[in-house]
Amino acid sequence: MHAVIDTNVLIYDTFSDNPFHENGRMLLESLDKWYIPSLVLQEYLWFFKREKKSLQTAKKMIEWYISDPRFRGLEMSHEIILHALKILQDYNRSLSHINDAIILSHAVLKGFPLATFDVKLRKLAQTVGINVLPEYVR
């Protein structure tokens, strides 16, 4: 099984003191391919900055994820941006949701499931017909 990975999955997997750590770890372990948009890697790095984690730690973790044989990088394109803007327009969302719409657009255009714990993004993905992992979130 494979999926487009949202940022919160990586964050939960990375930090063992996070109450959702085990959920993130188990989700990633259940997949044989991780399709990770470049935007997700950027957001992941911003999380490190916001939490005042070191550059060395951030670099080590990015290298760990991208060196895993399950990693598949997804690049940003004009097609992705236009599709994300269409999602925002079609579902009456503001530009403040552009990052989620971009991540969702990768899943839509690839026809892949989306792995996320974000409740609002999960609902939007299901509305546009994308399968969401994990099946249930508590």
Q: How confident is the model at residue 137 (pLDDT cuts 50, 70, 90)?
A: confident
pTM: 0.94
The rounded mean pLDDT for the chain is 96
pLDDT digits (tens, 9 = 90+) for 63-107: 999 999 999 999 999 999 999 999 999 999 999 999 999 999 999
Half-sphere exposure at residue 96, Cβ-oriented, CA atoms within 13 angstroms: 2
User: What pLDDT is stored for residue 136 in this prediction?
Assistant: 77
Summarised one tens digit per residue, pLDDT across range 34-51 is 999 999 999 999 999 999
Domain annotation for the chain: domains and CATH numbers = 2-133 (3.40.50.1010)
80 near 41, Cβ under 8 Å? no
Evaluate whether 76 touches 42 at the Cβ level (below 8 Å): no
The rounded distance, in Å, linking the Cα atoms of 36 and 39 is: 8
Q: How many CB atoms lie within 10 A of CB 38?
A: 14
